[in-house]
Structure 1
Amino acid sequence: MADEGAPISPLSENLKVWRQRRGLSLSALAAKAGLSKSVVSELERGNGNPSLDTLWSLARSLNISLGSFFEEPGGKPEVELLRLDDAPIMVQEGDHFRAQLLSLWRPTGEVELCVMIFGDRAKRNSEGNAPGIIERVLCVEGRVRVGTDLDSAELDPGDMFTFPADRPHFYHALGGPARLVTVQQYPEHS
């Protein structure tokens, strides 16, 4: 049996945490976001189904990203595989629109965004990048195996794999052409 006082989703817990971090009462946040106090209160209790506009109003009022509401408590693992089917739904409006959170991170240093296009069964090996670089690979099209000798995963469209890119790693299109989006996060310069 679930604890009645426990939030039912990261949204309710994170909304309350961010409101308190900003030193806002329920009434003050509601007024700032142009919402009723009861709407904010219900969301913090895990009740309600907020629209995207409501979530954006709250995020803007708290000066946070929309994804901050859906981040699971605790730190991020060094290696992470996220399947699109398992990504939390931030907003769904019938069958016409759905937004799912694949990742949220607070970058330090520079971030580089690339598109990689692979022919049928093409392979790409990397000797490894500079120390401290983290890479996030999102499969957009096709099927690929990505990773290092220690940690790798097969990705379908919508799946994302995160790993330390400062060691040798590879990309391998499996049975057809593939397209990836990669985000490399460089450490902050000292």
Structure 2
Amino acid sequence: MPDDSLSLIGPRLKAWREKRGMTLAELSAATGISSSTLSRLEAGKRAPNLELVVPIARSLRLELDDIVPRAAPDPRVRRTTSRIGHTQYESLSPESSAVQTYKVTFPANEPGVVAVPEPKVHDGQEWLYVLSGRLRLVLGDQDLTLGPGEAAEFDTRIPHWLAATGRGPAEVLSIFSKEGKRIHLRARPTP
């Protein structure tokens, strides 16, 4: 906890006391702490300690987490890049997130070579958005081509397969469940 966060406890206690509609005298009677001590604590002229804060929290029906300011965690995502075959996955969400977000780069096809779809099936939902290039999506009996700015969402229990089509690679923003992450990022490429 940063050093200056203790100075925020008094004003938080005052705000909660006022929110509960209690006077200093009522809180003093409920806690056994003198009104002058409570007033000094709320004004930041008395250092908070557990002997003061715990009975106040109980009287105001609060958890200590409601009173002690929490430091905001670093919101930046530690990005990692992995490859499955020639497809590159760059993580855009924390490992602990319920849904996983990736920037996926599907490599360009070799000139004159048409990729043969090998659809896969797994539990979950997938949502994707084409950032650049052209993406071929085979979904069940549909064979679709998506361009920049187009999106798709589908149940991954339907056989599906994705690859770049056209002259260059396809960059896609992809969001899927933990199960989808396991399938997409840990599957071994077919020889």
> What TM-score, normalized by structure 1, do the two folds share?
0.38
> What TM-score, normalized by structure 2, do the two folds share?
0.37
User: Which of the two has greater helix per residue?
Assistant: 2
Larger radius of gyration: 2
